[in-house]
Amino acid sequence: MAPREIITLPDKRLRLKSEPVKRIDASIRKLVDDLFETMYDAPGIGLAAIQIGVAKRIVTMDLSRKEEEHKPQVFINPEVIWTSEEKSKYEEGCLSIPDFYEEVERPAQVKVKYLDLEGHEHEIEASGLLATCLQHEIDHTNGVLFIDYISKLKRDRIIKKFAKAAKKVEA
């Protein structure tokens, strides 16, 4: 296990659509371990494989509080199969867009189909923070960022800010 570098805006890989995992083998298990270590090290509550530059449909999450025992969850090939008409708003942030938070409206409840590390298929119904986090991370596997849900003006400002910062780093 080793923490990996989290890619940030304006890295174009964040807009890639991730490939489904065809076989869960040792390399996928190691990737999941690395994702958890990277997520905990950051620290964050969710991480998609694309955020470390790997275009695979894998998401890790842990919504436990700092003082609680870790409750790691892994979702392989996650897919939203139902959303509620009711909406909810949460202030979202992203490890790939550090230090920026914005309120985002999403469906309040979702049903997600996914595989576990043994390759068994599951469905989970989620609401609250879990529903928001699942949607946020599954969006990553589709090349969608939470800033895509805010006004174009705010989004353009954020992208410009990160592009400018990246140019300074390169110089």
On whether the CB atoms of residues 9 and 43 are closer than 8 A, the answer is no
Residue with tokens 């410009």: 160
- The order of strands in the sheet holding 58-61 is 46-48, 58-61, 73-83, 109-115, 121-127
| Active-site residue, selected from the candidate residues 19, 68, 123, 137 | 137
Please say if 69 is a catalytic residue: no
106 burial (CB, 10 Å; 0-12 / 13-18 / 19+) is: buried
Distance CA 90, CA 105 (A): 7
Instruction: Cite the beta strand spans of the chain per DSSP E.
Output: 46-48, 58-61, 73-83, 87-94, 97-107, 109-115, 121-127
End-to-end Cα distance, the chain: 32
Which sequence positions are flagged as catalytic?
137
